[in-house]
Structure 1
Amino acid sequence: MGSLNRLRSAHQADIKGKGILYEDDDAPIKLVDRDDSFVIKEFGLALIGKILNPKKQNVEKLLQTMPSQWGLSERITASDLGNGKFLLNFMTEEDLNSVLRRGPFHYNFCMFVLVRWEPIVHDDYPWIIPFWVQLIGFPLHLWTDANLRNIGGRIGHVDTLELTEGRMLIDVDSRRPLKFSRKVEYEGDEVTIEIKYDKLFKHCTTCGLLSHEKGYCPNVDVRSRLQHVERPVFSRLQQNQDVSRQNWGRDALANTRATQQSSLQSRGIQSSQYYTSKPLRSDDMSTLGQAARYWEDDSSRGRHSDRIIRSRDDHSRRSRYGGARGAGPYARPSEKI
């Protein structure tokens, strides 16, 4: 009975955390292997991948985009494994091989790893990218199987060698910087050969890594990196400001010309009215007390000279006030003798 109570108290202590030992808490937890046949059957038709540039790539968007580009969106089951890794399960071997033949792979113009799944436990797994590599500037008389494999072994693991085509399929470690040139020596003479990677997209041209671009390279000075990133933005803003200033100056010049033209036109109209108009007659009693008015020349009234001639020969006008112009209402009376 006492032993049963001790077991119960120990169990309660474990539940409350009083019986946990923290001395070896940081030690790795050992995992138990299971039947390999079951694992191979479950993941035998799977590809495992990993993005290399987290600043430019997103796993969720990649899994939504790539199966559609391959035309297998209905026959692929995708899973996000976290830490930039993902798993693609296929229904047939033909679909899996058709995707592998499309490599190397890129998303958002940055490379990502995609290989056949293997039971490997490592933080960096997977990291191998198969690249078809060509050597440019290599002496033709030294183009042998041994020499090519010797050079390819310095780049990565040579998987396939096509001697007639002059290229090699090399498994490249994406954690290491890419090499784009190497020096080779033959009988004391050196020559520099260029290494060309087929279907290589964005990478750092300074250090050769695939995990970032030149603007984010840790080997570049901070000031140079900021200039590399911000200078295009500043130049675009400055260019837009210059364009807006040019447009503003062009519009201001056009408005000034339009204003001057309208001013000249208005002056021309006023001057034409000034020379084609006549002053108001002084004997028109209905306009007394009003401002001076002008009217345009009316052809029905006749010209000014015609009116003068007619008024000079108009005898009825003379006899209107006693037969003489001087005998008008404002004429002085003649003195009696």
Structure 2
Amino acid sequence: MERRIPYSQKGKEVARGYSPPPRKRIRAPDLDNSDLIQENALTLIGRFTNPEEQRLWSLIPFLSNRWNLKGKAIGSDLGRGCFQFRFDFEEDIQKVLYNRPYHFDQWMVILQRWEPIISESFPNQIPFWIELKGIPLHYWKLRMVKDIGEELGQLV
């Protein structure tokens, strides 16, 4: 006498010829979201450059204490190595953006002003100040500096 019950009697056999129904595509309605855009105008979005090493629970108080702001900056986790800070005042957000780039746990942190776009790679810019040394005096022209800057990346 065999003690095993075959899969077919249990109803666990692999169904043949079955395919799930196709997913229905839904079109989002036209929507006036200008109020949401205005509500998020004082928001910075950030991303870790090494999420395996950098920890969000310690980054938020580290940055908000370092900034020495007039108002508050409330940080929150957005998942997948991203986070946001909401500010009370425009001058605070400008101060934070002016003092970039930032680093935490010996890795860079990307901080950008929130934009109403959908992209897996947003935020993705780290601005740097670059000091040029050793340019001979007879090459100190605005055109020369702009050409060097454009070779390195986007010149602002």
TM-score by length of 1: 0.37
Alpha-carbon shift at residue 113 of structure 1 (Å):
0.7
Alpha-carbon shift at residue 109 of structure 1 (Å):
2.1
- Give the whole-Å Cα distance in 2 for the aligned partners of 1:33 and 1:65: 40
Partner of 1:139: 136
Deviation at 1:34, TM superposition (A): 3.2
Q: 1:67·1:73 contact (CA, 8 Å) conserved in 2?
A: no
Residue of structure 1 equivalent to 2:66: 69
Q: Identity rate of aligned residues, in percent?
A: 37
Give the letter for the 2:120 counterpart.
D
SS of the equivalent of 2:52 reads: coil
Residue 38 of structure 1 aligns to a residue whose secondary structure is helix
8 Å Cα contact 1:57-1:108 kept in structure 2: yes
Q: What secondary structure sits across from 1:132 in the alignment?
A: coil
Distance, in Å, in 2 between the alignment partners of 1:33 and 1:81 is 26
Matches of 2:48 and 2:109, distance apart in 1: 5
Three-state SS of the structure 1 residue aligned to 2:155 is: strand
Cα deviation for residue 74 of structure 1 reads 6.9
Do structure 1's residue 44 and structure 2's residue 52 form an aligned pair? no
Q: Is the 8 A contact 1:45 1:91 kept in 2?
A: yes
Please tell me whether the aligned partners of residues 52 and 110 of structure 1 are also in contact (alpha carbons under 8 angstroms). yes
> Does structure 1 residue 107 correspond to structure 2 residue 118?
no
Count residues with an aligned counterpart.
138
Which amino acid counterpart does residue 156 of structure 1 have in structure 2? G
In 1, the alpha carbon distance for the partners of 2:72 and 2:134 equals 44
CA distance in 2, matches of 1:54, 1:152: 30
Structure 1 Cα separation of the partners of residues 136 and 29 of structure 2: 54
Which string of whole-angstrom CA distances, capped at 9 and with x for unpartnered residues, describes residues 27-53 of structure 1? 8x7655632421221101111111102
**Structure 2 residue aligned with 1:125:** 122
Deviations 1:274-328 (A, max 9, x none): xxxxxxxxxxxxxxxxxxxxxxxxxxxxxxxxxxxxxxxxxxxxxxxxxxxxxxx
1-side partners of 2:119 and 2:151: how far apart?
24
76, 80, 93: which is aligned to 1:83?
80
Task: Measure the CA separation in 2 of the matches of 1:152 and 1:64.
Answer: 35
Query: Is contact 1:100-1:115 (8 Å) kept?
Result: yes
Task: Give the aligned partner of residue 202 of structure 1.
Answer: none
Describe the SS at the equivalent of 2:129: strand
Corresponding position of 2:113: 116
Aligned to 1:21: 21
Aligned ranges 1:160-175 → 2 under 5 Å? none
Can you list the C-alpha shifts for 1:113-142, whole angstroms capped at 9, x where unaligned? 111111121111111111101122333312
Query: Runs of 5+ in structure 1 lacking a partner?
Result: 1-19, 160-337
| 1:33–1:64 Cα change, 3 Å | farther
1:54 paired to 2:51: yes
- 8 Å contact kept, 2:71–2:92: no
Cα distance change on mapping 1:142 and 1:30 into 2, 3 Å: farther
Check conservation: 1:76, 1:89, Cα contact below 8 A.
yes
The one-letter amino acid of 1:78's match is: G
